[in-house]
C-alpha cells in the first residue's frame, strides 16, 4: 500500500521502504516485544462490561442490576482514564502500569467473588469502581511507543492504520471470548480470564522499558499538560464517542435479553460476533484507503450511516434480521472511530495527544456504562427488544451534535502535522 507522505525516508532505518505496508511495519525491529503483550493487556476494555453483565445477571436474575454494576465500572474508567494518560506522559508508562494492573486484578477478582456470594448491590458497586478506574490504557500507550520507534518514518501512517484495526479486532475477540467463557464454562470465567490477561499482559508490557517513550524534563512543564479537553473539537468528538459507546452497551444487554427470550442463549455470542465482524472488516478497509475527503466530512457521513442502521435494531424480531442489521451497524462503527482518532492527531498539540486519546476511550466506556444501565432497565420492565432503543437514541443525539458543531472539527492549515497517533493514511505535511 502506497503511503501519502511526501517527505524523505526516515532516518530510523537505512532500508526504509518507499512503499510501506503492514508487512514492512511488522518487521520493524523490536515491535513484537510490545505488540503481543499489549494486545493481551488491552482486552479488558472489550471484555469487562459483558463479563460483568453476564455474571451479575446470572447471580441476581436482573438485567437492571447487571447494567448498574457494569455502569459503575464504566463511569469510573471514563473518569480516571484521562488522568492515567496524563500520569503516563509525566512519569512514564511503567510507573503507571505496575500498580494499575495489580489493583485491577485484585478488584476484578473481588468483584467476581462478591457476585458469586450474592452480595448486595452496594458491595458490587464498591468493587466495580476500582476495577474500572484501574483498567490499563494500553491502546494509547502502544501508539506512543510506535511514535518513539518510527518517529517521522514513512511507516508511521501504516502504524496508525494498524492500531485502528487492532482496536477493532479487540472489540471482536474480547466480547466473543467473554461470552463464550460465561455461557459455555461458568458465568465467572469471563471476569477471571479478563483479570488474568490484565495481569500477565500488563506486566509483560511494562517490562519492555526500552520501547516506552522517554520521560524528559519538558514532560513536567505545566504548558505540556494543559487538558486536551480545552480543544473545542475534542469536546465534540467526546459526544460522538459517547454515542458509539451507547451502541456497544445497548447491543450487549439487548442481544443477551433477546436470545434468552427466544430460548437460544447460545446465539448471543454468534449475533454479537456478526456485529463485531462487520466492525473489524470495515476497519481493515478504512485503514487501507488513502482518503482525499476531509476527515470531519467523513465523520458526519459515517455517523449518519451509524445512526440510520442503529435505528432499525428495535424493530427486528428474528435472529436472522437482527444479524443482518447488526452487521451493518458494526460496519458503520469503525469508520467513525478511526476518523475520530484521525481528527485528534490533527486538532490536538503533541503534548496533550495521549490524554486526548484516553478522553475518547473514556467516552466510549461512559456511553457503554449509561447504555447497559438504561437498556437493562428497559428489558427488565418492558422487554420485547426495547433495550435496542438505546443505541438509536444515543447515535441520533450524537449525530445532531456533530452536524450542529461540525465547524469545530475543521483542521486549520499549519506548517506541520505530527505523524503520530491513530488514523488513516491521510495526506500530511512535514517540516
Q: Spell 139-155 as b/e; 16+ CB within 10 A means b.
A: bbbbbbbbbebbebbbb
Looking at per-residue pLDDT, the higher value among 114 and 424 belongs to 114
CA 83, distance to chain mean position in Å, is: 17
Task: Report the pLDDT averaged over residues 68-74.
Answer: 85
- Crossing angle of the two packed helices 353-381 and 232-261, in degrees rounded to 10: 30
The residue with greater pLDDT, 44 or 326, is: 326
Lowest mean pLDDT, pick from 19-23, 222-226, 295-299, 418-422: 418-422
More confident position, 120 or 16? 120
What average pLDDT does the segment 183-199 reach? 92
* Banded pLDDT at 416 (limits 50, 70, 90): very low
Alpha-carbon span 319 to 271, nearest angstrom: 8
DSSP for residue 9: P
- Quote the pLDDT of residue 240: 94
Asked whether residue 274 carries a pLDDT value surpassing 80, the answer given is yes
Mean pLDDT across 180-209: 90
CB contact at 8 A, 339 and 373: no
Other Cβ atoms closer than 10 A to 90: 15
Query: What pLDDT sits at residue 31?
Result: 85
**Residues ≥6 apart with Cβ < 8 Å to 382:** none
| Residue 280 reports pLDDT greater than 90 | no
Task: Provide CB contacts within 8 A for 202, sequence distance 6+.
Answer: 37, 41, 97, 100, 101, 104, 136, 138
314: pLDDT strictly greater than 50 = yes
Tell me what pLDDT residue 237 has. Answer: 94
**Residue 93 CA: distances (Å) to CA of 142, 156, 330:** 10, 21, 32
Q: Each residue of 390-401: pLDDT tens digit?
A: 999 999 999 999
Q: Say how far apart CA 41 and CA 21 lie, in whole Å.
A: 25
Q: What is the pLDDT of residue 102?
A: 94
| Mean pLDDT score, 298-321 | 90
Lowest mean pLDDT, pick from 47-51, 122-126, 246-250, 274-278: 274-278
Mean pLDDT for 100-119 is 94
Q: Which residue has the higher pLDDT, 171 or 55?
A: 55
More confident residue, 119 or 318: 119
Q: What pLDDT shows up at residue 247?
A: 93
Grid cell locating 169:
479486532
- If one counts every other C-beta atom within 10 angstroms of the C-beta of residue 30, the result is 12
pLDDT at 221: 43
> Residue 309 — pLDDT band, cuts 50, 70, 90?
very high
How far apart CA 77 and CA 233 sit, in angstroms, is 22
- Percentage of the chain modeled with pLDDT above 70: 84
Query: What is the per-residue pLDDT for 146?
Result: 79
- Give the pLDDT confidence of 329-369 residue by residue, as tens digits: 989 988 888 788 778 777 877 667 777 878 888 888 788 87
pLDDT tops 80 at residue 257: yes
Neighbours of 417 (CB within 10 A): 16
How confident is residue 417, by pLDDT bands cut at 50, 70 and 90? very low
pLDDT tens-digit profile of 58-68? 998 888 888 88
Contact by Cβ (8 Å): 295, 343: yes
Q: What is the pLDDT of residue 426?
A: 37
Mean pLDDT rounded to a whole number for the chain: 80
Question: What is the pLDDT, as a whole number, of residue 157?
Answer: 62
Amino acid at each position: 500500500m502506497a503511503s501519502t507522505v511526501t517527505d524523505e525516508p526516515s532516518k530510523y532505518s537505512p532500508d526504509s521502504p518507499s512503499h510501506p505496508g503492514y508487512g514492512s511495519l511488522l518487521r520493524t525491529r523490536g515491535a513484537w516485544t510490545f505488540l503481543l503483550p499489549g494486545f493481551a493487556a488491552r482486552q479488558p476494555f472489550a471484555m469487562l462490561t459483558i463479563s460483568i453483565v453476564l455474571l451479575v445477571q446470572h447471580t441476581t436474575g436482573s438485567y437492571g442490576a447487571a447494567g448498574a454494576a457494569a455502569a459503575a465500572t464504566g463511569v469510573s474508567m471514563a473518569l480516571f482514564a484521562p488522568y492515567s494518560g496524563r500520569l503516563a506522559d509525566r512519569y512514564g508508562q511503567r510507573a503507571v502500569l505496575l500498580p494499575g494492573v495489580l489493583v485491577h486484578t485484585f478488584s476484578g477478582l473481588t468483584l467476581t467473588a462478591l457476585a458469586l456470594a450474592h452480595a448486595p448491590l452496594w458491595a458490587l458497586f464498591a468493587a466495580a469502581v476500582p476495577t474500572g478506574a484501574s483498567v490499563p490504557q494500553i491502546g494509547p500507550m502502544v501508539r506512543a511507543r510506535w511514535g518513539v520507534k518510527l518517529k517521522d518514518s514513512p511507516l508511521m501512517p501504516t502504524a496508525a492504520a494498524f492500531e485502528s484495526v487492532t482496536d477493532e479486532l479487540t472489540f471482536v475477540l474480547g466480547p466473543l471470548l467473554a461470552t463464550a467463557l460465561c455461557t459455555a464454562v461458568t458465568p465467572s470465567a469471563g471476569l477471571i480470564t479478563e483479570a488474568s490477561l490484565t495481569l500477565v499482559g500488563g506486566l509483560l508490557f511494562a517490562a519492555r522499558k526500552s520501547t516506552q517513550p522517554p520521560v524528559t524534563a519538558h514532560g513536567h512543564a505545566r504548558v505540556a499538560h494543559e487538558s486536551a479537553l480545552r480543544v473545542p473539537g475534542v469536546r465534540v468528538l467526546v459526544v460522538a464517542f459517547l454515542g458509539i459507546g451507547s451502541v456497544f452497551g445497548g447491543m450487549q444487554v439487548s442481544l443477551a435479553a433477546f436470545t434468552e427470550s427466544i430460548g437460544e442463549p447460545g446465539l448471543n455470542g454468534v449475533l454479537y460476533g456478526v456485529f463485531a465482524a462487520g466492525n473489524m472488516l470495515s476497519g481493515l478497509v478504512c485503514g487501507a484507503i488513502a482518503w482525499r475527503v476531509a476527515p470531519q466530512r467523513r465523520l458526519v457521513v459515517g455517523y449518519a450511516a451509524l445512526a440510520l442502521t442503529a435505528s432499525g435494531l428495535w424493530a427486528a424480531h428474528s435472529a436472522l434480521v437482527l444479524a443482518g442489521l447488526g452487521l451493518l451497524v458494526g460496519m458503520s462503527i469503525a469508520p467513525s472511530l478511526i476518523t475520530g482518532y484521525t481528527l485528534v492527531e490533527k486538532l490536538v498539540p503533541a503534548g496533550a495527544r495521549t490524554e486526548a486519546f484516553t478522553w475518547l476511550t473514556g467516552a466510549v466506556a461512559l456511553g457503554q456504562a449509561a447504555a447497559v444501565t438504561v437498556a437493562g432497565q428497559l428489558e427488565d420492565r418492558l422487554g420485547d427488544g426495547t433495550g435496542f432503543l438505546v443505541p438509536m437514541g444515543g447515535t441520533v443525539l450524537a449525530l445532531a451534535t456533530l452536524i450542529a458543531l461540525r465547524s469545530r472539527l475543521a483542521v486549520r492549515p499549519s506548517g506541520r502535522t505530527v505523524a503520530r497517533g491513530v488514523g488513516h493514511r491521510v495526506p500530511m505535511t512535514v517540516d
